[in-house]
Amino acid sequence: MTRLTTDDIEGIRAQLVEYDRELVSVTGRTLLGIGEWASGLGDEGHLQRLAPGKKMAVVPIRSGLGVISGFSETVCGILLHLGFDAMIPGRSDVSGFAEAVDGGAQVILAADDDRFVAFCPRQGKTVDNSRATARGYVAGLDLMAGGLDGKEVLVVGCGPVGRWAVEALSMRKARVSVIDRVAEKAEELTRWARSAFQADVQVGPDLEQALSTHHLIVDATNAAEVIHARHVTADTHVAAPGMPCGATLDAREKLAGRILHDPLQIGVATMACEALRIIHAQSGPVGQTDCYGAST
């Protein structure tokens, strides 16, 4: 995913209540509710009962290109908005990790230039942001579309988010087509889907035809101006994780109320919900049937 900038994230914390209202109008659920749906906890509010007292920490990481001003504060603000007990240690990097663990954090979130991960140290498990973001956006598309079972969905972009979107869509029994500028990446993704979870994923035709014949679209590219107004009909719903948004401004106007896009929020909410499932599973079953139909 594209490296975020301070500009991308600076207004997020102040607008979380308004964003919840927008998400409810588009999906029927708040940010927490989408995270619950994505992580298999189904009932909205169930997780809210589990969240209080669960200590989380966001550790700034100075490696590589260094800290993004506001990144840790924004992630922490999203977690607090969801009802978690979240903090940022006084130190970064290894010292910050040690401070977080010593302070009783059960989930530690940190990002370098390559990965953004939630660590569950006591369970020895991790939650990856790309996979959680894909699951969160597929869950949002599922809610917007009133279910994905048997429906045709186009995934544009066969990088990490596109790959995990194919997994999440297949688990919801969608009929998936993928397309990428590099045809071999699309072919490889269909081979992986077939071997990993016996899904019959198709390689879409050329982009113009694919966008014109699909109404449910996951924009998993890191390009702008992929989806244009001419591709949008009254039945079109778009899930567009990360920056930049792949739908043009004209397309987004036509899509009003039928598009999901944000730089970080849905991904972080899904990471937190999946991490909570991990740490809660340690202390007995969560007792929900998850949205994939498996018992938890």
Interface positions with ligand PYL (CB under 6 A): 1-4, 60-61, 67-68, 71-72, 111-113, 116, 129, 242, 264
Residues shown for the chain = 296
- For the record, the structure tokens of 111 come out as 């990002």
Nearer CB in complex with ligand PYL: 27/129: 129
Secondary structure element (H or E) that encloses residue 57, with its range: strand 55-59
Least distance in Å: CB of 267 to ligand PYL?
A: 7
Nearer CB in complex with ligand PYL: 89/204: 89
Least distance in Å: CB of 134 to ligand PYL?
A: 12
Q: What separation in angstroms does the CA of 204 have from each of 9, 114, 117, 196?
A: 33, 29, 31, 20
Angle at 246 between CA 12 and CA 172, to 5 degrees: 85
- For the record, the structure tokens of 151 come out as 């429906």
Nearer CB in complex with ligand PYL: 66/205: 66
Least distance in Å: CB of 116 to ligand PYL?
A: 4
Nearer CB in complex with ligand PYL: 40/241: 241
Least distance in Å: CB of 242 to ligand PYL?
A: 5
Least distance in Å: CB of 112 to ligand PYL?
A: 5
Nearer CB in complex with ligand PYL: 28/160: 160
Helices (H), the chain: 6-9, 16-27, 31-39, 46-50, 71-81, 93-102, 129-145, 160-171, 183-197, 207-213, 249-254, 265-281
